Chains A and B, each alone.
Chain A
Amino acid sequence: MFKRTGHRILVLASMLVSFSFGADVTSDTEDKEGKFWSFQPIRGVVLPEVKSLDWPRRGIDRFILAKLEEKRLAPSRDASRPTLLRRLTFHLTGLPPTLEEMETFEADSSPLAVEHVADRLLGSKAFGERWGRHWLDVARYADSNGSDENFTYYDAWRFRNYVIDAFNKDKPFDQFVREQLAGDLLPSANQKQRDEQITATGFLVLGPKVIGDDDKEQLRMDVVDEQIDTVGKAFLGLSLGCARCHDHKFDPVPARDYYALAGIFGSTETVHGNLLHRRDLSGWNLRPLGQDGETLYRDWKGYDDKLDGLKKKQEQSKSDLASLKKNVEKENAAVTSAVQPLAAANENATKISELEQNLKSLAAEIKQLSEKPPPKPPLAMAVCDREAIGDARILERGDMHRPGQVVPRGFVQVANYGRPASFSAAQSGRLELAEWLADPRNPLTARVMVNRIWHQLFGVGLVRTVDDFGRQGERPSHPELLDYLASEFIAMNWSCKKLIREIVLSRVYQLSSEHNEDAYRVDPENRLLWRMNRRRLEVEALRDSVLAISGQLDVSPAESVVANLPDQATGVGDKPRKPFPSVRRSVYLPVIRNDLRAEFQLLDFADPQTVSGRRNQTIVAPQSLFLLNSQLVRDSARLLAERLLKRAGYRNEREFVQAACREILGRPPTPGEIQFSLNYLAEADPDGSGDKEPLPSKDAALANLCQALMCSSPFLYLD
């Protein structure tokens, strides 16, 4: 979201003279030494005093209420129970509540009913699929390279599943950070843990690379740059990339800092070898998993190289043979009548037969070899340290070919908190960097992550520019609350689940999204959270829920979904691309850079080219066309109508409408909704245009009604 619109919103916000939370004055955001707010240590905060003592339920509520009271605003009323259940279920699992879940919740009169629901959802495996996907947005996850040559990342899925598992296991976030940056350098108790940690470093390998670049040094530097950019935005909320060419214009990040990090990633092997044995294509680093992975992989590579060598020899011999034969033909034609020099002819004949013999034996050898490939171990896209560990040189204007002064490896100085930058001479320094990031004293790591979580639950972060905590980013609407959440998060041993639980049990999370004219006049952007934000379902939630409601969704987890794709995920030729039908959860669909699924493209899926902590939220006509005319929505509506009809006990259309609304909207219909629907079903000639087309059968009309509900805003939006 920020990517395309952040600055637009800034401009708009600054136009609203009466309201300027987005552009707080600097005196507030810098301390006495002029340190910007986000680089200051996380403060221990006391819960603020409030007047309405009976309103707050959790600590969070005190911060929200205090600000509201300051502006003399009252929070809106609590959300209705069906609204709350739908909100919670979608936010925590990306799926709609089932009829049974709705009934259970309605029947649970205990004051702990919401806690029961929250705990059930946090414990479901759908939780990791939902929240893992949020992190995959940040990790710019994809199953293909994109960029110039869109090669398939056959092994990326292990990282995807690692992330999903991490959220389901509630892996402490500091550990999650360490593993993604330096999992290969961390100690491990057993093979399983070792494999998991290696897989985590896929985070550094997944980015797009110009793998056809013929300047390989430049390519390596571009990859390092991409890693610095990703790590900066993902963990620190800082755009460090600018400092590649010059000291950062807005944030106190000098080029030295950038090259201090470049030394770390430059000492890391990410680009590796060649793809398909082609000199023009660079490959990426893969690491074998499993007990005897290393040995198996070495053997397999030996085999693969040998096979390639033979194939190249075969090519060469074939072409030699062809040109020799062509020459002989030419010579023969030239000496038609004259007597051919016998010796030369013989020599050629010998050569030809030698080559033919040679080709025969090559073919046999290739055949034999290809019949018995050695086992290939499971592979993970993962980094390792390079043999040459060293500091980087500052590059003038970022140009690989204009090296300057050497900079020792180090951290981002402005966010330093007193941890000495001492690096092992034998390792890249990723481990030290990971420890520096995952330290409770780091002013940014916890703040950035709790803000990401808040953003997912409220639709906007306390800092709206979730990937930018620098000067170009926005200031927090509730700085004390942000610090409170960050300290709590650290105190909870960096548990995402506990933090999410804490937030969803707050009263502010459970508010209605209703409009209130008085509050709107003072705070039109709802920065103070006088109500819940109404939000559209993300494309995954939309797709998964129409599949779920219509009884099609396959909830089983998947491993690789791109194994059948060719080397180039998007073909270079003009062969039609195979469709990828699937009724699995969207998180398991392939993410092909530069060729996203139509619905992903249309409905603001995260851009997998770069860190996207905040998705776009566009409303454009092609989305409506998708809802009206796509197979997915049409078929799902028809299947749902059939399911509802099969379910015994509907005596009339009214009951059908009630059931359909419960399934699709997660609540009973309003009287108005019943009326429109019955009118629609009752009309004898639905178009009234003298259309000669036979009327749709009753079943078709019921399906059309279900589709209309799936296109409607009460379905598409979470109140």
Chain B
Amino acid sequence: MRVKKKSMLPMNLNNIWGHQQPVRLDRRTLLKRAACGFGYLAFAGLCAESRSESKASSPLAPKAPHHRARAKRVIFLFMHGGPSQVDTFDYKPRLNRESGQPCPFPQPKAFGDDRAKKVPPLLGSPWPFRQRGASGLWVSELLPEIATCADDLCVIRSMHTEGQAHGEATLRMHTGASNLVRPSVGSWVTYGLGSENEDLPGFVTICPPRAHGGVQNYSSAFLPAAYQGTAIGAVDVPFTQAEIPFAKDQGLSLARQRRQLDLIQDFNREHLAGARHDQNIEGLIESFELAFRMQSEAPALMKLDDESPATKRLYGIGQEETDDFGRQCLLARRFAEAGVRYIQVSTGYKWDQHKELVTGHNKIARASDRPIAGLLKDLKGRGLLNDTLVIWGAEFGRTPFAEGEDGRDHNPQGFTIWMAGGGVRGGIAHGETDEYGHRAIAGKVHVHDLHATVLHLLGLDHERLTYRYSGRDFRLTDVHGEVVKEILA
């Protein structure tokens, strides 16, 4: 057998990107990757200043994980506002029995004005619970469609976090920190793994919230800009108008714009010829080509027209209540299929029922239940659920006692999230809150632990995924975080 000629570059790319794991690329791969990519140009910009001749791969080029990955990508369904754990997945018979009685445990520090002057009554769940599927997982009537996927759900009932207010807790859920600006989970993941499609952003967030940290929830902070989340629309933009910013031409047909672009490139090349050597101008020329490819291809990806009626029905598209969120979930699947590494979908700030729990929760549950179940079934049907990690959760949960007459307050002390797909056990519930569903007491999972687990499932060691900034190695989990081994498949 012929021995393959080794053509390795002496450069250790991982050093450049802050990895500790050595990966060597052969020249061909390197050149291929260096020539294009959404993020390459960001890198060229950096390189340019150092005037390094070394061409390195795009920051979005796929990178080897630290260990075998169980999931290749993440879809995070963010239930902004905080759904109530005791009304969804955390069944508490005692709470229901004692509903209306004065709350027997001390309340956390008052939140808001002049509340907590008197002991609030316990508030049992208005929604009946049933055991579902072969696993017998408890799910309430609030989410009947998700309930049909019970055997795929890995429910964590013992989540806890800091931050009695939305802003602090939302930032912690997305970035692991609230008092300092830190890269978001999606940015860390994309930094660690690159993306499978370099013609698209590696991290997208569909209709993200503007408040409670806003952009900070999907910013790359001190990581290079290539890893920042690209917002598709915003919470206050109807999904049908949501698009990749500035990817829509302003009146020129694609062919005419191509001709205009050729003219731009003529100017650029003339300038480059005069300069004789300039990596920035080279980068600019590349960036226009890539922008044009995105502009030509993204609209087709964003349009859901080629999906079958059955698929659309699955997501509740076409029905008034579920249409908007259904489209968002379907787009998430399309991004997942296209190789985007981290995708977030947000419901909007709709789960925050300080009063009128039943009306409010019913409304947003109806809008999101079917689309989410549709997403799980669709992913499964296409064989994508195996290596896609779906996460459903919010910044915190809600109190088991009443606020006012018929609302619930924020509850960071104990709440529920679930995951499904890539590498997690389906049909199980991990951890416990107390008998009222107030505080996590057993198998506690802090937000840092959740982050460590998500990275682990993606093949990344949260202690090794570091980035040096301001003289220090930073990581998503700071000095905390333990992988929740019990939930791994």
Query: Which A residues contact B (CB, under 8 angstroms)?
Result: 1, 3-9, 11-13, 15-16, 146-150, 208, 210, 212-214, 222, 239, 241-242, 249-250, 277-280, 312, 460, 468, 470, 472, 513-515, 517, 520, 524-526, 534, 536, 568, 570-577, 593-596, 598, 601-602, 604, 607, 609-610, 616-626, 628-631, 634, 670, 672-673, 676-677, 680, 683, 686-687, 689, 691, 693, 696, 704-705, 707-709, 711-714, 716-717, 719
Cβ-neighbour of A534 out of B255, B267, B275, B468 (below 8 A): B275
By beta carbon, the residue of chain B nearest A599 is B246
Q: Are B280 and A524 in contact (CB under 8 A)?
A: no
Known: A573-B349, A628-B257. A212 touches B112 (CB 8 A): no
User: Which of chain B's residues 236-292 have a Cβ closer than 8 Å to chain A?
Assistant: 236-237, 244-253, 255-261, 263-264, 266-268, 270-272, 274-278, 280-281, 283-288, 290-292
A–B complex contacts, Cβ < 8 Å, 17 sampled = A4-B222, A4-B223, A5-B46, A12-B50, A148-B171, A210-B179, A213-B168, A222-B179, A239-B471, A242-B472, A571-B236, A617-B48, A672-B270, A680-B260, A686-B259, A713-B285, A714-B271
Give chain B's interface residue range (CB within 8 Å of chain A).
35 or more
Is the CB–CB distance between A524 and B230 below 8 Å?
no
Report how far A517 CA is from B211 CA in the complex, Å. 51
Do the beta carbons of B236 and A574 come within 8 Å of each other? Answer: yes
Q: Which residue of A lies closest to B470 (CB)?
A: A239
Contact partner of B264 (CB less than 8 A), chosen from A634, A693, A711, is: A711
Nearest A residue to B215, CB-CB: A594
For A8, A12, A312, A631, the residue with the greatest tally of chain B CB atoms inside 10 Å of its CB is: A8
Given known A9-B49, A629-B250, A704-B252, contact A620–B42 (CB-CB < 8 A): yes
Is B46 touching A8 in the complex (CB atoms < 8 A)?
A: yes
User: Which residue on A lies nearest to B258, using beta carbons?
Assistant: A687
Is B165's CB under 8 angstroms from A212's CB?
yes
CB distance from B378 to the nearest CB of A (A): 26
When A and B form their complex, which 10 residue pairs have the shortest distance between CB atoms, in order from nearest? Answer: A148-B167, A594-B214, A687-B255, A624-B291, A712-B267, A212-B165, A524-B51, A472-B471, A515-B276, A525-B51
Give Cα A312 to B168, complex, Å.
27
Knowing A150-B211, A472-B470, A577-B210 are in contact, say whether A3-B349 is a contact too (CB < 8 A).
Answer: no
Would A214 and B164 count as touching, CB distance under 8 A? yes
| Contact in complex: B263, A705 (CB < 8 Å) | yes
Could you tell me the distance in whole angstroms from the C-beta of A460 to the nearest C-beta in chain B? Answer: 7
Q: Is the beta-carbon distance between B41 and A621 smaller than 8 angstroms?
A: yes
Interface membership of B322, Cβ < 8 A: no
**B25 contacts partner chain A, Cβ-Cβ < 8 Å:** no
Tell me the complex Cα distance, A713–B225, Å. Answer: 21
Taking CB atoms, residues of chain B closer than 8 Å to A576 are 236-237
A622–B245 CB distance below 8 A? yes
| Cβ distance B234 to chain A, nearest Cβ, rounded Å | 8
Contact between chains at B245 and A609 (CB < 8 Å): no
- Complex interface: chain B residues within 8 A of A577 (CB): 210, 234, 236
Known: A4-B220, A574-B235, A609-B216. 4 other contacts (CB 8 A): A279-B113, A515-B278, A686-B259, A713-B284
Shortest beta-carbon distance from A344 to chain B in Å: 23
Q: How far is the CB of A214 from chain B (nearest CB, A)?
A: 5
B272 CB contacts on chain A under 8 angstroms? 713
**Cβ–Cβ contact A689 & B49, under 8 A:** no
* A714, B267: Cβ atoms closer than 8 Å: yes
Q: Which of B282-325 contact A (CB under 8 A)?
A: 283-288, 290-292, 294-295
Residues of A within 8 A of B216 (CB): 146-147, 593-594, 609
Contacts of B292 in A (CB 8 A): 624, 628
Q: Are B263's CB and A626's CB within 8 A?
A: no
- Give the shortest distance, in Å, between A521 (CB) and chain B (any CB): 10
Per the bound structure, the CA–CA distance linking A470 and B110 in Å amounts to 44
Q: How far is the CB of A537 from chain B (nearest CB, A)?
A: 12
| Partner pick for A634 among B50, B250, B291, CB 8 A cutoff | B250
Tell me the smallest distance from the CB of B195 to a CB of chain A, in Å: 13
Kindly list chain B residues whose C-beta atoms are within 8 Å of the C-beta of A617: 45-46, 48-49
B275 and A514 contact, CB distance less than 8 A: yes
A266-B260 Cα distance, complex, nearest whole Å? 59
- Asked if A595 contacts B210 (CB within 8 A), the reply is yes
Interface contact A713-B210, CB-CB below 8 Å: no
Interface check B348, CB cutoff 8 A: yes
Kindly state the separation between the CA atoms of A11 and B12 in the bound complex, as whole angstroms.
11
User: For the complex, what is the distance from the CA of A371 to the CA of B176, rounded to whole Å?
Assistant: 47
CB distance from B77 to the nearest CB of A (A): 17
Measured in the bound complex, the distance between the Cα atoms of B470 and A470 in whole Å is 10
Residues of A within 8 A of B47 (CB): 12
Is A629's CB under 8 angstroms from B225's CB?
no
Q: Are B264 and A621 in contact (CB under 8 A)?
A: no
Instruction: Tell me how far the C-beta of B190 lies from the nearest C-beta in chain A, rounded to whole angstroms.
Output: 13
* Pick from B112, B164, B277, B280: contact of A536, CB under 8 Å: B280
Give B160-190 as 1s and 0s: 1 = Cβ < 8 Å from A's Cβ atoms: 0001111110110000001101000000000
Nearest-Cβ distance from residue A676 to partner chain B, whole angstroms: 4
Do residues A628 and B261 form an inter-chain contact, with CB atoms below 8 A? Answer: yes
Contacts of A574 in B (CB 8 A): 235-236, 348-349
CA distance A576 to B276 in the complex (A): 48
Chain A, Cβ-Cβ closest to B39: A620
Q: Does B212 contact A (CB under 8 A)?
A: yes
Q: Check B245 against A618 for contact (C-beta < 8 Å).
A: no
Residues of B within 8 A of A524 (CB): 51-53
Distance between Cα atoms of A676 and B468 in the complex (Å)? 46
Min distance, Cβ B480 to any Cβ of chain A, angstroms: 13
Q: Which of A15, A593, A670 has the most CB atoms of chain B within a 10 A radius of its CB?
A: A15
Question: Which positions 114-165 of chain B face chain A at CB distance < 8 Å?
Answer: 114, 163-165
- A693 partner residues in chain B, CB cutoff 8 A: 253, 256
The smallest C-beta distance from A530 to any residue of chain B, in angstroms, reads 12
Q: Chain B residues with Cβ under 8 A from A515's Cβ?
A: 275-278
The answer on a CB contact under 8 Å between A628 and B275 is no
Taking a contact as CB atoms under 8 Å apart, the answer to whether A689 and B255 are in contact is yes
A1 to B50, CA, bound (A): 13
Is A460 touching B49 in the complex (CB atoms < 8 A)?
yes
**Minimum distance in angstroms from B324 CB to a CB of chain A:** 11
B76 vs chain A, min Cβ distance (A): 19
List of B residues within 8 angstroms of A687 by Cβ: 253, 255-256, 258-259
What distance in Å separates the Cβ of A10 from its nearest Cβ neighbour in chain B?
A: 9
Is the CB–CB distance between B284 and A278 below 8 Å?
no
Q: For A8, give the chain B residue with the smallest CB separation.
A: B46
- In the assembled complex, the Cα of A243 lies from the Cα of B349 at a distance in Å of 38
Q: Is B105 an interface residue (CB 8 A)?
A: no
Q: Is the CB of A691 within 8 A of B280?
A: no
The answer to whether B112 and A279 touch across the interface, beta carbons within 8 angstroms, is yes
B15–A11 touching, CB < 8 Å: yes
Known: A146-B216, A572-B211. A214 touches B264 (CB 8 A): no
A148–B212 CB distance below 8 A: yes
The closest CB in chain A to the CB of B405 belongs to: A323
A619 touches B246 (CB 8 A): no
Q: Is the CB of B270 within 8 A of A628?
A: no
> Which residues on A sit within 8 Å (CB–CB) of B38?
620-621
- B179 x A619 contact (CB < 8 A): no
- Once the chains are docked, how many angstroms separate the CA of A273 from the CA of B281? 52
**B44 part of interface (Cβ distance < 8 Å):** yes
Q: Which of B423-454 contact A (CB under 8 A)?
A: none
- Beta-carbon contact of A534 and B259 below 8 Å: no
Q: How far is the CA of A7 from the CA of B210 in the complex (A)?
A: 31
Docked CA distance A575–B234 (Å): 11
**Chain B residues near A602 (CB, 8 Å)?**
245
* Docked-complex contact A618 and B224, CB < 8 angstroms: yes
Cα–Cα distance between A678 and B484 once the two chains are bound (Å): 66
Please tell me which one of the listed residues B110, B178, B236, B294 contacts residue A625 in the complex, with CB atoms under 8 A apart: B294
Q: Which of B220, B245, B281 sits near A717, CB closer than 8 Å?
A: B281
Task: Say yes or no for B54: interface residue by CB 8 A criterion.
Answer: yes
Name which residue of chain B comes closest to A146, CB basis.
B216
- Name which residue of chain A comes closest to B237, CB basis: A576
Report whether B178 and A680 are in contact in the complex, using a CB–CB cutoff of 8 Å.
no
**A250 proximity list for chain B (CB < 8 A):** 471
B455 at the interface (CB under 8 A from A): no
